[in-house]
Structure 1
Amino acid sequence: MKKNGFFRGFKIFGGNLIAIALLGLVIIGSLLLGIGTYFLGFAGFFYIFNVEYDSLYYLLLFLIFFFILSYFTKLIAKLSLIIFGPYLKTKKRFIGMKFILITIALWLAIFIIDEMMVEITVPIWTEILGALLLSIADTAFKGKMKKIVIIKKK
């Protein structure tokens, strides 16, 4: 019986194991590309605004702590939005309050990490601008993802 499948061409080289390993490498490569882009984006942003840091290791440590802490601060912001959401009468006020709360949450994460790490010195206006840019990107990409999901459901 002849099998017609995706992995049939890999039987010569040792079976499905090679296909799965190659697929894993592609997934790991794409994850590393995304993380590297985010890292270099932060490094470029810090370079433009003359943020002083001792080495790239401390910048990577800053980003790791930022990911962890921003998750919790954004969670608190979303919970407070759930609490105050019914009091906001229009959709514009709700979106504006969401944007403000996410910006404050991201700024708080950057501020706390900046104060904890003495190896990195970020001026206050750079912290605010970074939080503002991140919240704009967060809002823009969240809207696109919801549109994609809605289109796929139809």
Structure 2
Amino acid sequence: MMHFITRLTALFGAFVRSIQGTASIEATLLLPVFIMGGMTLADVGFAGQGRMQLDQALRAGAQVSMINVNDVDQIEEATLAALGITESGVLGPDGLCQDGKICISVSSTCQCTAGVSAVCTSLCPGTDETPSAFVNITARRRHAGIVLGDREVSSQITVQTR
């Protein structure tokens, strides 16, 4: 019996000192970390691609706003057409756009010098200057991430039209 215990202790000591299989154990421990890192990187990449598509569509809407300043519907249609869709989505109760839709909003503002808000149809108070007119176009899209969860990807452009 004593010989068996001595032999078992020697085998256990040899096993502990052995470096065979160390690489496979390290790979087993680190592989999930690398997989999660890769999935997160892909998630961020797809969100970035979606943002670039929104940027491109907003530039198309900005070009239309320079030609036809007052037609908000035409600006929205041009922005949606650049994305290859015909209908804008609606923001849900969670503040995110509907799944598979892109939410577009177009608004106009006017400012006098020094950034003071003004009414677009009248002159700046205290001066006889016409206020500068701006068209703000915002696009939002829901990004259903693999690791990062549901997020909003959005882009905005402001065009000075006057």
Quick check: which one's strand share is greater? 2
Same fold (TM over 0.5): no
TM-score (structure 2 length as normaliser): 0.29
Structure showing greater radius of gyration is 2
